[in-house]
Structure 1
Amino acid sequence: MNNLLIERRRDMEKKEKSSLAERLFSLSIKDILNRDLYKHQIKPIPDRFRSAEEYRRCFVPHLLEETRTELSSSFKSLSRSPVFEIHSVEIKEGSGSSSNSVYEITLKNTGTINATYQPKCGDVIALTKERPRRIDDLNPLHLAYVFFSDGDLTVFVRSARAIPSLHEYPILPYKQNGHLIRFGVFLMNTTTNIRIWNALHNEDPSSTLIQSVLQENSLASTEQCLCNRTDVASSDYARVSPVIRSATLNRSQEDAVLGCIKTRNCSHETSAKLIWGPPGTGKTKDGRNSSLFLLKLKCRTVVCAPTNTAIVEVASRLLSLFKETSSSEHPTYGLGNVVLSGNRDRMGIKNNQPLLDVFLDERVVKLGHLFPPSFSGWKHRLESLINFLENTETKYERHVHELKEAERMKEETEKKKKKQEVERMKEETEKKTKQEVERMKEETEKKTTKQEVERMKEETEKKKKQEAVHITEKKKKQEAVHIPTFGEFVRKKFNASSEELKTDMVDLYTHLPKSCISSEQVKYMIAAQQALDRVRYFLQENSSKSDFNKGSFKFDCFNRLISADCLHALRLLPARFEIPDLLESKNIGAFCLQSAHIIFCTASGAAEMSAERTGSVDLLVVDEAAQLKECESVAALQLSGLRHAVLIGDELQLPAMVQSEICEKAKFGRSLFERLVLLGHNKHLLNVQYRMHPSISRFPNNEFYGGMIADAEVVQEIIYQKRFLLGNMFGSFSFINVGRGKEEFGDGHSPKNMVEVAVIAEIISNLSKGILISNLRIYESVCLYSYYMINLVTVSSERRMKVNVGVISPYKGQVRAIQERVSSLPSGQLLTLNVRSVDGFQGGEEDIIIISTVRSNGNGKVGFLSNRQRANVALTRARHCLWVVGNETTLALSDSIWGKLISEARSRGCFFEAADEKNLRDAMNDALLEDLSSSFGTLSIGRNR
């Protein structure tokens, strides 16, 4: 292991707080499966808190219970859990007591088992004697926590109990209490939970912002703050107002952005500002714009989101806007003040170059290459190229001399080898001759004459000479050293050096903060790159020609081009930059974070932003704040120097997911955003939606948002009203009644409705066959001829448009059933299909959304389908068409929002019977016959038994 990996492992071991891991280690299998283990410790999360200490401590038992629940869930699916095979185990010296020691585990490279699972930092694994299939295979339970991964086959773990090491059991596999330890099975990743745990146990919080969110009377407002009437505030507005005007923001978005700037200017109070962003109103866009403006104001801001996917989306949007407003000559200059921090694999940015330009780990590598402690790096490469261009003839002569000297040394070496080979062959030949002569003497005795012996000697000598000639010829055939021409040498050397230097220049103005590299220096670099390109082009055209040598016209042109253009441009470049000595990767990382104006990370990732590593922070912006458990916000609220936070979200959509039923009832999934709203904290509404056709937005707007959301002009235009299938049933909004459906409860107790599955599959089949009409105008023109094109209208590919279709169901059983059914349908290039649960669609949107409500009974029982937040998400994902498929009777009796939806659909003439459409009626009949046939088959089997 190299020094860098050793350093990283020690740092991670030092900062890793094992309290949560130790709590898990102390649990038995019985404890982990016990739903009531923490029941008596869990109380409902209060709306108000008396102190920051009470605030942090109240979440601890809930976090333990949620972690136990996830661990218990993994126990129940062991047969499907990722597994690796153990090759060796070694305890690391000085790692602590045997009960909490650090071990290095090397994985066995089997090519099969390891292919499915490579342990990652934060993984909790169970060590077992055999590949586990059921819970009993874990007994006795031996848990370990992975805190560092060194490549693909080595991990460092902290173990619950001592693991026999190589020194104790030199013969593998190893034994634990008489049992063989051969496998490690993945149970869960605890990275987020451990970060939350550490934040909740922070003994010395450096931020006072938490005091502002404890109670309603502690909530400060910056709206009328005198700080915003100062010259600084006016100057800030003047600097960003041109960008605001060019960003095509509506009034509510513009006010939200200006509110962020006002919040930033307040220096004598702490505050939490809420921006309420209903579906389609551009809350992520608002966060992107705010981030760009804060970047221009050099405001040290941390931008958080609940998940890696969410924070990557926010960062991507900022980079897109940054590119739009940057110079075309150097579009990445200034990105050195932007950092994306996180895990490369979990963020999925391995091949995303724009994001890699701001990714912290990538930046550390780039700067380490530019400013290494050894005699190399940017300064060395710049000076080397200048020296080469100033002395091309001398360099060439030296190169030729070195080649000839190397050839001479090679020839001498070959001569020595040849001489040694000849001597060896001579000795072997003489030895063989002597042996052969002796043998023949013994065999022939008196018959062997002196002439025969001489003849044999002559033949042996002849063979020896032939072999020597063969060796000589073989050596002569070897290719002689190639001496390049002067032009070839210059072109090859220049191309390699200049390309590396050009890469260095791009990396410099991309990864260095503006405080270390001025715009004037960047202009010099752009000019130098252009000069290098001119020299490269000249050499490409002329260097291979025979007259490119000293004294020739082309050579004189080359010299003038170098001295008057290229060397002049290179000498203007700075060899040094005002940066600290960056000897270690952790120092480079700290330099990048402390120099950044905008830092993107997940909410739990904010726990890594210590004062020592990141420095003081001015402002916190949390996107999708309503989807974040409040305990996940604690780390971000404790950032060093933080005084203000801006939370962007919508509490009327789905909250964070909670696995434990006890925790869910105790409001563990509630967000800080929602609690502040309950306390009466003001929230700024983004009141224009840009996603849904007005026919779609009308119901959720009135039902959830009191009609406060206006439709943007773009969604009101006639061209936004798309028609993808013939018939009024498939307009912008419709409820399609499937009254003959039947709900079934299969494995996992998640309901499904195969009749609804059949209806939805038929609709998707029609779409995939090409019944795609680009807009209402085409639809109306086709309808003129519908009397002879009743069942199928195929539009030419020129008139088709690519369509994204989403199918949403609240129930996993229905999602799986639909996925299985549509997987057999022919896939078309013009249709993209996405079938997911409501939770999976939060934050997404599609051209067409089909909702399957599933429930079909006579008493109106709909379960969690009645959840208003879940319904809000499902009903607001569509851009052009929303088709709700369900049982009218069940939904109307449910006394839920779905009954209201049916009433509105009827009043607007958007209620349709699936049986009225022939294709759908046939699909329903086939599904019912299939169900009947299956029932008879089951009955027949039962009788035969």
Structure 2
Amino acid sequence: SKLKEENIDFLRLGNDFSCASEYRDNLLSNKARLCNNIDDIRHLIINSRIICGTTTAFNSHTEIFSLKSFQLAIIDEASQILEPHIIGLLSAKHDKENAIEKIVMIGDEKQLPAVVQQEANESVVNSKSLNDIGLTDCRLSFFERMIRIYGKNNHNYCHVLTRQGRMHPEIATFPNEAFYGGTLLPVPLRHQTEATPLEYHGNNSIEKILTTHRISFISCCPEDNTEEPDKMNSAEAEIIADIVCTQYNMIMQQNNDNATDAFNVNKSIGIIVPYRNQISTVRNAIDRRIEESGLSETLHDITIDTVERYQGSQRDLIIYGFTIKKYYQLSFLTDNEYYDETEDATIDRKLNVAMTRARKHLVMVGNAQLLSNDFTFKRLIEYTKEEKCFFTAQNIQE
């Protein structure tokens, strides 16, 4: 998208089904159809300065390296890429020389790692020669292994970016202190310098929260409904739907009901929940309000997804519904926690990703009493209480 904005031409590896419509003209397969013969296709590839694609796409098109070499390869989300997915690119050759002169990997080991099905005991590496090069666990990315070997303070190899242009500073405070040792600073961009109103003169409690707080936690105890599965929480879904509708109405009022410019389904609101069942529950709650209140059907298209699918995305308002109703479910929410010795801190990768998706507002909904059984969640809830942005479902519904 940035290349498009700067009018920089590029080739895209992939197919129409996995490529957004605005980039399909750049697909190699589509550009190749305009070529008269194989030599034209060869020249198309050789003369393209920039080629974009996933690691899977490049590993499926290694013949590109027989045609040309590259001065630079930039690998994004590198903390999620396992060694087998990248080794073919690192070792690619062109005329018996390295096909890539320099490789820059960009990622955040404090966010979600690669998805691996094997348990820790199956992934452990016992070979001394592999342990000597830092390969102790097959679930670790090459990116994370390099950080462990060379260290973040070795500026010959590792560099830490500390300016963030997404979160309003009031949203960034907790993840910054809890996960990044207080090193994050705002760029700042325009939305990061916006003042937060101190007062609200209406009588809508949700609108008051969204007006006067950048971050808030709404504690919701689940109803005693034995027929509802553990992976569904209708009480939370109703609150989330109320927040969505309230925010939508606020956006429309602030922009004189100009729906075309005011509300963008891909930018305005995003909802994160841990279970697929809860996605449907929240979607149904929103749809009922659309039908009952005559709100725009655009609200149906709001992205409701898991934190794994939200990594890399952002929204002006993020609503994070914890959903869980039983103690045993805590282990699922915290299964990506680890202890960072260099920071002397417990890093909850899922919570970190969820909180850092928000640009202007973050609302979290969950059972505070249950969540407080986890160290990091308890710390988060205590923080919201100290900042006077902790509320109960009963209070906001009165």
> Same fold, TM exceeding 0.5?
yes
SS at match of 2:232: strand
Structure-2 residue corresponding to 1:706: 181
SS at match of 2:106: strand
Answer yes or no: is 1:317 the counterpart of 2:15: no
Distance 1:601 1:798 in 2: 37
Q: Which structure 2 residues correspond to residues 236-255 of structure 1 after superposition, within 5 A? A: none
Q: Which structure 2 residues correspond to residues 870-881 of structure 1 after superposition, within 5 A? A: 870-881=350-361
Structure-1 residue corresponding to 2:233: 753
Distance 1:796 1:598 in 2: 43
Answer yes or no: is 1:733 the counterpart of 2:231: no
Letter in 2 for 1:341: L
Answer yes or no: is 1:833 the counterpart of 2:291: no
Answer yes or no: is 1:346 the counterpart of 2:27: no
Letter in 1 for 2:368: E
SS at match of 2:53: strand
Structure-1 residue corresponding to 2:70: 617
Q: Which structure 2 residues correspond to residues 125-524 of structure 1 after superposition, within 5 A? A: 316-322=1-7, 335=9, 338-349=10-21, 352=22, 355-356=24-25, 358-368=26-36
TM-score where L is the length of structure 2: 0.77
User: Which structure is higher in RCO with an 8 Å CA cutoff and minimum separation 6?
Assistant: 2
Answer yes or no: is 1:635 the counterpart of 2:88: yes
SS at match of 1:679: helix
Distance 2:116 2:227 in 1: 23
Structure-1 residue corresponding to 2:172: 697
Distance 1:707 1:900 in 2: 16
Structure-2 residue corresponding to 1:658: 116
SS at match of 1:692: coil
Structure-2 residue corresponding to 1:892: 372
Distance 1:746 1:875 in 2: 28
Pair 721,841 (structure 1): closer, same or farther in 2 beyond 3 Å: farther
Native 8 Å contact 2:271 2:304 kept in 1: yes
Native 8 Å contact 2:222 2:236 kept in 1: no
SS at match of 1:856: coil
Distance 1:842 1:680 in 2: 26
- The alpha carbon displacement at 1:773 in A equals 7.0
SS at match of 1:655: coil
Distance 2:24 2:355 in 1: 32
Pair 830,340 (structure 1): closer, same or farther in 2 beyond 3 Å: closer
Native 8 Å contact 1:742 1:856 kept in 2: no
- The alpha carbon displacement at 1:649 in A equals 1.0
SS at match of 2:85: helix
SS at match of 1:650: coil
Letter in 2 for 1:736: I
Query: What is the aligned counterpart of 1:717 among 193, 211, 232?
Result: 193
Native 8 Å contact 1:594 1:613 kept in 2: no
SS at match of 1:708: coil
Native 8 Å contact 1:809 1:836 kept in 2: yes
Pair 744,639 (structure 1): closer, same or farther in 2 beyond 3 Å: farther
Query: What is the aligned counterpart of 1:820 among 284, 296, 311?
Result: 284
Native 8 Å contact 1:807 1:851 kept in 2: yes
Letter in 2 for 1:902: I
Structure-1 residue corresponding to 2:332: 864
Counting aligned pairs with the same residue, the percent is 26
Distance 1:673 1:632 in 2: 12
Query: What is the aligned counterpart of 1:670 among 129, 137, 140?
Result: 140
- The alpha carbon displacement at 1:698 in A equals 0.6
Distance 1:654 1:612 in 2: 30
Native 8 Å contact 1:610 1:639 kept in 2: no
Structure-2 residue corresponding to 1:797: 257
Distance 2:143 2:257 in 1: 48
Pair 797,601 (structure 1): closer, same or farther in 2 beyond 3 Å: closer
Pair 689,741 (structure 1): closer, same or farther in 2 beyond 3 Å: farther
Q: Which structure 2 residues correspond to residues 589-600 of structure 1 after superposition, within 5 A? A: 589-600=41-52
- The alpha carbon displacement at 1:625 in A equals 1.1
Distance 2:311 2:180 in 1: 18
Letter in 2 for 1:603: T
Distance 1:697 1:321 in 2: 29
Structure-1 residue corresponding to 2:131: none
| Post-superposition CA distance 1:313-368 (Å, at most 9, x none) | xxx32132136xxxxxxxxxxx4xx322222333244xx3x651x33223323231
Distance 1:763 1:887 in 2: 17
SS at match of 1:813: helix
Letter in 2 for 1:917: I
| Post-superposition CA distance 1:154-176 (Å, at most 9, x none) | xxxxxxxxxxxxxxxxxxxxxxx
SS at match of 2:317: strand
Structure-1 residue corresponding to 2:103: 645
Query: What is the aligned counterpart of 2:161 among 674, 680, 686?
Result: 686
Native 8 Å contact 1:737 1:887 kept in 2: yes
Structure-2 residue corresponding to 1:882: 362
Native 8 Å contact 1:808 1:849 kept in 2: yes
Q: Which runs of 5+ in 2 are unaligned?
A: 125-136, 337-347
- The alpha carbon displacement at 1:623 in A equals 1.3
Native 8 Å contact 2:210 2:361 kept in 1: no
SS at match of 2:159: strand
Distance 1:863 1:892 in 2: 13
Native 8 Å contact 1:339 1:599 kept in 2: yes
Distance 2:231 2:273 in 1: 10
Native 8 Å contact 1:743 1:855 kept in 2: no
Distance 1:609 1:744 in 2: 55
Distance 1:833 1:851 in 2: 14
- The alpha carbon displacement at 1:668 in A equals 4.1
- The alpha carbon displacement at 1:888 in A equals 1.3
- The alpha carbon displacement at 1:605 in A equals 2.1
Report the structure, 1 or 2, having the larger helix content.
Answer: 1
Pair 658,886 (structure 1): closer, same or farther in 2 beyond 3 Å: same
Pair 815,345 (structure 1): closer, same or farther in 2 beyond 3 Å: closer
| Post-superposition CA distance 1:259-288 (Å, at most 9, x none) | xxxxxxxxxxxxxxxxxxxxxxxxxxxxxx
Distance 2:331 2:224 in 1: 16
Distance 1:842 1:743 in 2: 32
Pair 638,843 (structure 1): closer, same or farther in 2 beyond 3 Å: same
Distance 1:744 1:765 in 2: 28
Q: Which runs of 5+ in 1 are unaligned?
A: 1-315, 324-334, 369-583, 776-794, 922-945
- The alpha carbon displacement at 1:736 in A equals 0.6
- The alpha carbon displacement at 1:741 in A equals 4.4
Pair 818,669 (structure 1): closer, same or farther in 2 beyond 3 Å: farther
| Post-superposition CA distance 1:710-751 (Å, at most 9, x none) | 12332342368799953247621111111344687977xx62
Native 8 Å contact 2:167 2:192 kept in 1: no
Distance 1:743 1:865 in 2: 22
Pair 700,592 (structure 1): closer, same or farther in 2 beyond 3 Å: same
Pair member with larger Rg: 1
Q: Which structure 2 residues correspond to residues 833-852 of structure 1 after superposition, within 5 A? A: 833-852=302-321
| Post-superposition CA distance 1:812-859 (Å, at most 9, x none) | 2222221232233314278562211111211111121111112234x5
- The alpha carbon displacement at 1:612 in A equals 6.5
Native 8 Å contact 2:220 2:368 kept in 1: yes
- CA RMSD after TM alignment: 3.2
| Post-superposition CA distance 1:515-558 (Å, at most 9, x none) | xxxxxxxxxxxxxxxxxxxxxxxxxxxxxxxxxxxxxxxxxxxx
Native 8 Å contact 1:806 1:833 kept in 2: yes
Pair 343,664 (structure 1): closer, same or farther in 2 beyond 3 Å: farther
Pair 740,361 (structure 1): closer, same or farther in 2 beyond 3 Å: closer
The count of corresponding residues between Structure 1 and Structure 2 is: 347
Distance 1:619 1:806 in 2: 35
Native 8 Å contact 1:861 1:890 kept in 2: no
